[in-house]
A and B are shown apart, each in its own frame.
Chain A
Amino acid sequence: MGYGKLKSADKGVENMVDKTTIIVHSGDMDKIYSALIIGNGALSMGMEVTMYFTFWGLERLKKDGLEKGPLSKMNMGGLGKRMINSRMKQANVASLERLMQYYKELGGKIIACEMTMEIMGITKEDLHQELIDEYGAVGTYIHEARESTINLFI
């Protein structure tokens, strides 16, 4: 694809590419939704996207872990989550699995935080390795983020 790579004409930011970087720190279900919806939206509008999964966010890249997060508010031991899930089904909102599949199909990149893996005792075998493009640390993230026009911490 040769289109969709808009370069900023502003001299001060001449190295900026049209790119979104998202740190996925939370593992809460609603925040994973936000991250994946924004990621897919940015890809659809022709941007490059990198998501850096760290701390509780990385738990969601574990095998069968994507849908496992609690609601960030009013989870009520899973009752609130069930209510929201049924409302989302009524509204025909796509599942996290589907959003993740589209994110990868549209060329979205995923970095897994190595330090989180060490702290939480997570091995590569525990993770969906087919989704992960790179295993890295803060330097990898900054390298991606310094040339991004949109930069989020979720």
Chain B
Amino acid sequence: MAEIKIDVKGETCPMPLVEARKALMKASPGDIVEIIGTHPASKKEIPMAVEALGLELVDVQEKDGIWKIKIRR
């Protein structure tokens, strides 16, 4: 099981969400996808997409304006 890291720091709407979706499409079931970014709304919206896709939200963290979201495909 792979761990895939996606860096979208500095990217704005809709790219963090879109990059997260693209990474999840490419990942295999069981893989962990970690997205790191700064766009404030995406911190809420990526977990919404995870729920809509029926996937597992593993962890959400934020420090100094940089968030990290971990998702299991």
The reply to whether the CB of B2 lies closer than 8 angstroms to some CB of chain A is no
A94 to B39, CA, bound (A): 13
The reply to whether the CB of B53 lies closer than 8 angstroms to some CB of chain A is yes
A102's partner among B12, B18, B53 (CB-CB below 8 A) is B18
Contacts of A46 in B (CB 8 A): 49, 52-53
From A36-44, A77-85, A128-136, give the one contacting chain B: A36-44
Q: Which applies to chain A's interface (DSSP): helix, strand, loop or mixed? A: loop
Please tell me if the beta carbons of A44 and B13 are within 8 angstroms of each other in the complex: no
**Which residues of B in the span 9-54 have a Cβ within 8 Å of any Cβ on A?**
10-15, 17-18, 20-22, 25, 48-49, 52-54
Please tell me if the beta carbons of B12 and A92 are within 8 angstroms of each other in the complex: yes
Please tell me if the beta carbons of A4 and B17 are within 8 angstroms of each other in the complex: no
Q: Which applies to chain B's interface (DSSP): helix, strand, loop or mixed? A: helix
Number of A-B contacts (CB under 8 A): 51
The reply to whether the CB of A9 lies closer than 8 angstroms to some CB of chain B is no
Given contacts A3-B54, A41-B17, A93-B13, could you give 4 more A-B pairs where the C-beta distance is less than 8 Å? A37-B13, A37-B14, A41-B18, A102-B22
Instruction: Give residues in A with beta carbon < 8 Å to B.
Output: 1, 3-4, 6, 37, 40-41, 43-46, 91-94, 99, 102, 105-106
Instruction: Give residues in B with beta carbon < 8 Å to A.
Output: 10-15, 17-18, 20-22, 25, 48-49, 52-55
